Structure 1
Amino acid sequence: MSLFPLLVALQFLTRLPVLLSRMPTPDESGRSLLWYPTVGLALGAFLVLLQDPLNHLSPSLQAALLLSFWVWISGGLHLDGLADMTDAWVGGHGDSERTLAIMKDPNCGPMGVLSLVLVLLVKFAALASLVAVEQWIGLLLAPWLGRWVLPLLLYSTRYVRAGGMGQVMVENMPRFWLPAILLLHGLAMLAVGMQGALAILCICVLGWCWRRVLIRRLGGTTGDTAGALVEISECLVLVMLAFLTA
């Protein structure tokens, strides 16, 4: 099996210096979704490795540095989706066409900025709580689950934004293999123990509710709403694990 779709996923989801020898075909773009959970696992592993040399620092400084690296390595890609979705959801006033139009606007409004501040603040506080008691598992699970639920949403929900890379991915995703890959990663998360099981349960409930809200407002999902789900999923996993270890 060609690893080119993995390189496509790495280039799209991270700031790692991945150079593609050519543009991906539509089929390769679709198959890159198979690798999203693996990329999330790799991001989590990076965070776990980074935490070790930071152990001598205060929990708040550790959390700040870990979160800064987290945002940097992911390129802030999903934070952008969160801001766009928040602006559109508030400004759309329940109208689907207006919501989609605002979401396409590259400018970030005050509600979008507020959502970024709140999500990053909650992530920082949860990370500080976790590193204070040396609970590194959240660093692994949060980005892993965030990039596990994203292809699950795209697989199960109609894509309503015509054109662009997102539509190409959805139309060409391997619908036979994707559920198998997601199941495999889900079983691997269960191997982590009770924390992994509870994290999966929380994200499945969140994903189900998220999908219902999107269908009610938009009739489906977009790249921005999928990216926003990644951020909220990461936030929820960290808060849930911090609550369990308090």
Structure 2
Amino acid sequence: MTRLPLPVLRDFQCAELVRAVVWFPAAGLVVGAAVALAAALGTVLDPWLGALAGVVMWAWITGGLHLDGLADTADALGAAHRDPARFLTVLADPHVGSFGVIVLVLQLAAKLVLLHWLLTLDLPWPALVLIPAWTRWAAAGWTLLLPPLKPGLGERFAWQGNRAGWGAGGLALAAVSAITPIAFVALIPAVLWGVWMWLKLGGQTGDILGAGIEWSESAALLLAGVSLALARGIIAG
């Protein structure tokens, strides 16, 4: 979930991934803390520099993993517009097509502009830390609730994870989020993505999970900004 160095796990078994879903929110907290720290340091000089530092850190610490999933999903959806049977074939293609490039550019631009907006609105820093945690908690939930569309990372998690641990992680996140309730907005796009996967695709894959994390993060930033602006009378209610 991050590029941070961790001890090597000897004799790794894929079944051990099932237990890893419990740690998805913790990984999200690490990502959020790194993004918030980078943004705070950059903002000392200028909010735009803070936003840029935050987005660069977001891409670096995740290794672009979820951005890659977003690009692959965009290419697959574009190719399947007229022929739905091509969706999984294109999804498995490691090359990035025009749809993927366009969506990647738009996603990075969206995060840059939205993060700058939130910095000018004085978004509570804990909220920025918690949004990535909520999106990764949601991703773990998607793997537990939706069937895999093909063999791969999504299949290794699907329906087998520790649901009790996942629920406990959600309760812990909710307790922490009570200090800054605006962080709960991340659940709205996460639920919408889960419903979309269920109705449109009938399941999930690792790439689609990554795309969902990216979508949920950007949408959460937008919703947080709108909420703050409404609360402060910047946008007429």
TM-score by length of 2: 0.87
Structure 2 unpaired stretches of 5+: 230-237
Q: Which of 115, 118, 128 pairs up with 1:139?
A: 128
Note if 1:158 corresponds to 2:141: no
> Is the CA contact (8 Å cut-off) linking 1:85 and 1:225 kept in structure 2?
yes
How far the C-alpha of 1:149 sits from its partner, in A, is: 1.1
**Runs of 4+ deviating beyond 4 Å:** none
Measured in 2, the distance between the counterparts of 1:172 and 1:201 equals: 25
Task: Name 1:207's counterpart in structure 2.
Answer: 194
1:95–1:187 distance in 2 versus 1, CA, 3 Å: farther
Q: Which of 39, 42, 50 pairs up with 1:62?
A: 50
Task: Name 2:8's counterpart in structure 1.
Answer: 20
Measured in 2, the distance between the counterparts of 1:208 and 1:192 equals: 28
Deviations 1:68-117 (A, max 9, x none): 01100000000000000000011013644310000000000000000001
Task: Name 2:217's counterpart in structure 1.
Answer: 234
**AA partner of residue 80 (structure 1):** D
Moved more, 128-137 or 231-240: 128-137
**AA partner of residue 139 (structure 1):** L
Question: Counterparts in 2 of 1:85-96, with a 5 A limit?
Answer: 85-93=73-81, 95-96=83-84
Question: Counterparts in 2 of 1:33-52, with a 5 A limit?
Answer: 33-52=21-40
> Is the CA contact (8 Å cut-off) linking 1:142 and 1:234 kept in structure 2?
yes
Percent identity, aligned pairs only, is 33
Note if 1:194 corresponds to 2:181: yes
**AA partner of residue 123 (structure 1):** K
Task: Name 2:235's counterpart in structure 1.
Answer: none
Moved more, 121-130 or 42-51: 42-51
Deviations 1:6-53 (A, max 9, x none): xxxxxxx11101231414223321111110011101211222233333
> Is the CA contact (8 Å cut-off) linking 1:126 and 1:238 kept in structure 2?
yes
> Is the CA contact (8 Å cut-off) linking 2:186 and 2:217 kept in structure 1?
no
TM-score by length of 1: 0.84
1:209–1:99 distance in 2 versus 1, CA, 3 Å: closer
Measured in 2, the distance between the counterparts of 1:224 and 1:88 equals: 10
How far the C-alpha of 1:132 sits from its partner, in A, is: 1.8
Task: Name 1:97's counterpart in structure 2.
Answer: 85
Task: Name 1:6's counterpart in structure 2.
Answer: none
Structure 1 unpaired stretches of 5+: 1-12
How far the C-alpha of 1:225 sits from its partner, in A, is: 0.7
**AA partner of residue 67 (structure 2):** L
Measured in 1, the distance between the counterparts of 2:126 and 2:29 equals: 11
Measured in 2, the distance between the counterparts of 1:24 and 1:35 equals: 17
Measured in 2, the distance between the counterparts of 1:228 and 1:64 equals: 21
Q: How many residues are treated as equivalent by the alignment?
A: 228
**AA partner of residue 187 (structure 2):** I
**AA partner of residue 60 (structure 1):** W
Measured in 2, the distance between the counterparts of 1:46 and 1:76 equals: 15
Note if 1:123 corresponds to 2:106: no
Q: Which of 178, 186, 204 pairs up with 1:221?
A: 204
How far the C-alpha of 1:167 sits from its partner, in A, is: 1.9
